[in-house]
Amino acid sequence: MAGAYPGDAIREVMRVSVKDLVEQAVQELFDERDATAVDRYWSPGYMEHSILGADGLQGLRDLAASLPESFRHTRTRVLGEHDLVVAHGRYDGLGATPIVAFDVWRVDHGKIVEHWDAHQAWAEQTVSGHTMLDGPTKITSPASTAASRQVVESFAELIMMGRDRTKIGRFFSGDRFVQHNPQIADGLSGLGQAIQTGVWEAVVDRVHRVVAEGEFVFTQGEGQLHAEPTAFYDLFRVEDDRLVEHWDVVFTKPAELAHDNGLF
């Protein structure tokens, strides 16, 4: 194709295949309850960072075997870039209340080698009136990946990490901003009010991973919320180089994990 570089084509094939591999693996293991999927899709050196399961393939097998019959994992949005795949969705059946979750997988040489996740209880009522998961789900602007990533990386550095919060207005088109965080109202005004009133006293100290595809950009960070060590998993939708929508999962870092790999 005129104007296309072979390397770009190869990376695109790799991206799609990695994303498809993860979706197929998760479907077979968790949706279809096929325990043999572990051997087909996961690496013998698999490393787990989840707050739910132990390390390695045996930890994964034990987790899958322990899930109740009522367990369901609905993946609302899935995006992938390079070797990373992110799923944003909902878990049902793990308790009395549904859970909103982000899962992040890393793939190497055709096998899943690493996994991170974040969970937050489903909120029946939100300040904005939106649910924690509604909104656009399809990637409609694949060519905008690099530009979208740049916008969110700048926002993370200047605003989320607090390098220069006076520049916050440049990331929004007026007050247009759809908010899915249960505690924050729509608009830049809603975000500002939450910060000023102390509802959202959050500081991100480090962004560990950024995954972009089209108009969607995911960030995985850690910092403090109300002075508590916190994990921040954020998903932004970008339109015309402005942030127009936001979803997140936020949780206090647990004192102990079922492995020694840390959360990040």
> Where residue 225 sits, what CATH number does that domain have?
3.10.450.50
Residue 181 has pLDDT above 80, yes or no: yes
> Considering the domain boundaries, does residue 103 fall inside one?
yes
Q: Are 104 and 69 in contact (CB under 8 A)?
A: no
Give 29-39 pLDDT, tens digit per residue. Answer: 998 989 999 99
Supply the pLDDT for residue 51: 85
Q: Hey, which residues does 221 pair with through a beta bridge? A: 207, 232
Q: Is residue 146 part of a domain?
A: yes
- pLDDT of residue 12 exceeding 80, the answer is no
For 61-150, list the strands marked E by DSSP.
72-81, 84-92, 99-108, 111-121
What are the tens digits of pLDDT across the range 204-241?
999 999 999 999 999 999 999 888 999 999 999 999 99
How big, in percent rounded to 5, are the helix, strand and coil portions of the chain?
30, 35, 35
Whether 77 maps to a domain, the answer reads yes
**Distances, alpha carbon 143 to alpha carbons 5, 29, 138, 139, 182, in Å:** 14, 32, 14, 10, 31
| 155 and 54 co-located in one domain | no
> What's the domain count of the chain?
2
- How far does the chain reach from its first CA to its final CA, in angstroms? 40
Q: Return the H-helix or E-strand segment holding 223.
A: strand 216-225
What are the C-alpha distances in Å from 186 to residues 108, 114, 181? Answer: 39, 35, 9
* Same-domain status, 210 and 244: yes
Last residue of a domain, one of 121, 154, 184: 121
Query: Looking at the domain assignment, is residue 45 inside a domain?
Result: yes
Of 26-40, 120-134, 188-202, give the lowest mean pLDDT range: 188-202
- Same domain assignment for residues 173 and 239: yes
Q: Give the list of residues 6+ apart from residue 255 with CB closer than 8 angstroms, or none.
A: none
Per-residue pLDDT, 10: 39
Which residue segment(s) compose the domain that 149 sits in? 142-252
Alpha-carbon distance of 99 to 123, in angstroms, equals 9
Helices (H), the chain: 6-26, 37-41, 56-66, 145-155, 187-196
DSSP state of 160: I
CA–CA distance, 110 with 6 (Å, rounded to integer): 21
Domain shared by 168 and 99, yes or no: no
Quick one: how far is CA 235 from the chain centroid? 6
Based on the fold, state whether residues 173 and 116 are members of the same structural domain.
no
Establish if 135 belongs to a structural domain. Answer: no
Collapsing DSSP to helix, strand or coil, 15 comes out as helix
User: Does residue 132 fall inside a structural domain?
Assistant: no
Q: What's the CA gap between 220 and 250, in Å, rounded?
A: 10
pLDDT digits (tens, 9 = 90+) for 238-254: 999 999 999 999 999 88
pLDDT for position 199: 81
d(CA 22, CA 17): 9
Check whether 18 has a pLDDT greater than 60: yes
Separation of alpha carbons 209 and 207, rounded Å: 6
**Residues 20, 113: one domain?**
yes
Q: Is the pLDDT of residue 7 over 90?
A: no
How high is the pLDDT of residue 256? 85
Q: Enter the pTM of the model.
A: 0.90
Whose tokens are 């322990």? That residue is 66
Which of the pair, 151 or 93, is modelled with greater confidence? 151
Q: Residue 257 falls within a domain, yes or no? A: no
